[in-house]
């Protein structure tokens, strides 16, 4: 059903002026072929993760534009939060299956923190403090309307024009959810970037939208949540390295917490 989800979201994004891939056809019936498939138009642009010949200023323009796209996506609103309801997707409808954004953000949180603790990257006391931090931010996480969140805005899921350094395609909507757009502001810089992205991303967002209340607090808590699931993924596939551990510590710094050394 993820293939259908991508088409419904991509169609909606294009309708609201978000540069997206155009998916022409999806078949998940398996009546004619023993597999699911989708057909989409070939999109133009360059993958900045593979090829970027511009300057830092050019990359900043690109990051600024990503921030603007996050603002445009956030303006596409929904009822409900978190994952989109599969049964409604089959009717080409998008609605969050959770009643609050905190309900989505806290999914598997306790188990993921426990995994990091059990692998000796965090003490049990620090793990407990992290859970308390999320609980204390519940009201903040639940503030605001539910908008479109890509939640995988890495350079390899974007294409840019090498002349203007503007995004010409956002794709791979598989991880998309509905909720606070600040989740994209916080998570996008956690992927591999050529230059630091956070500052320009926020400036791009604020060029189109008013500054959300408690923006810094939101970015801190959403960055921590993103890094937690990424570290668990790294542990599962034996991908832990010093750089990824450094990102975990950076996410803990606002809360004055330390990893196990």
Q: What is the pLDDT along the chain (261 residues), one digit of tens a residue?
A: 999 999 999 999 999 999 999 999 999 999 999 999 999 999 999 999 999 999 999 999 999 999 999 999 999 999 999 999 999 999 999 999 999 999 999 999 999 999 999 999 999 999 999 999 999 999 999 998 999 999 999 999 999 999 999 999 999 999 999 999 999 999 999 999 999 999 999 999 999 999 999 999 999 999 999 999 999 999 999 999 999 999 999 999 999 999 986
Closest C-alpha to 60, from 160, 186, 208, 187:
160
* Residue-level pLDDT at 261: 66
Q: What's the Cα-to-Cα distance from 213 to each of 101, 182, 259, rounded to whole Å?
A: 16, 11, 29
Closest C-alpha to 84, from 27, 10, 160, 9:
9
Q: Is the pTM of this model over 0.95?
A: yes
Q: What's the Cα-to-Cα distance from 189 to each of 48, 89, 123, rounded to whole Å?
A: 14, 30, 26
According to DSSP, the residues that pair with 147 across neighbouring strands are: 77, 179
Closest C-alpha to 182, from 145, 138, 154:
145
Total length of the chain: 261
* CA–CA distance, 159 with 167 (Å, rounded to integer): 6
Q: What's the Cα-to-Cα distance from 122 to each of 1, 24, 89, 125, 222, rounded to whole Å?
A: 36, 47, 39, 8, 19
* Residue-level pLDDT at 180: 98
């Amino acid at each position: 059903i993820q293939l259908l989800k991508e088409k419904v979201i991509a169609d909606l994004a294009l309708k609201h002026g978000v540069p997206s891939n155009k998916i022409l056809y999806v078949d998940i019936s398996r009546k004619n072929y023993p597999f699911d498939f989708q057909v989409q138009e070939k999109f133009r642009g360059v993958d900045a993760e593979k090829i970027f010949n511009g300057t830092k200023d050019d990359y900043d323009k690109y990051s600024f534009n990503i921030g603007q796209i996050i603002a445009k996506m956030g303006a596409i609103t929904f009822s409900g939060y978190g994952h989109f309801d599969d049964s409604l997707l089959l009717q080409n409808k998008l609605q969050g299956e959770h009643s609050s954004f905190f309900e989505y953000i806290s999914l598997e949180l306790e188990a993921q923190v426990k995994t990091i603790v059990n692998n000796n990257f965090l003490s049990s006391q620090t793990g407990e403090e992290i859970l308390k931090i999320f609980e204390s931010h519940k009201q903040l996480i639940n503030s605001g309307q539910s908008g479109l969140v890509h939640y995988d805005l890495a350079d390899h899921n974007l294409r840019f024009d090498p002349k203007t350094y503007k995004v010409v395609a956002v794709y791979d909507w598989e991880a998309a959810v509905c909720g606070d757009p600040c989740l994209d502001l916080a998570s996008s810089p956690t992927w591999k970037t050529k230059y630091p992205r956070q500052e320009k991303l926020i400036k791009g967002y604020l060029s189109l939208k008013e500054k959300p209340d408690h923006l810094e607090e939101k970015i801190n808590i959403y960055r921590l949540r993103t890094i937690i699931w990424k570290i668990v993924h790294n542990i599962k596939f034996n991908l832990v390295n010093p750089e990824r551990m450094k990102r975990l510590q950076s996410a803990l710094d606002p809360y004055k917490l330390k990893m196990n050394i």
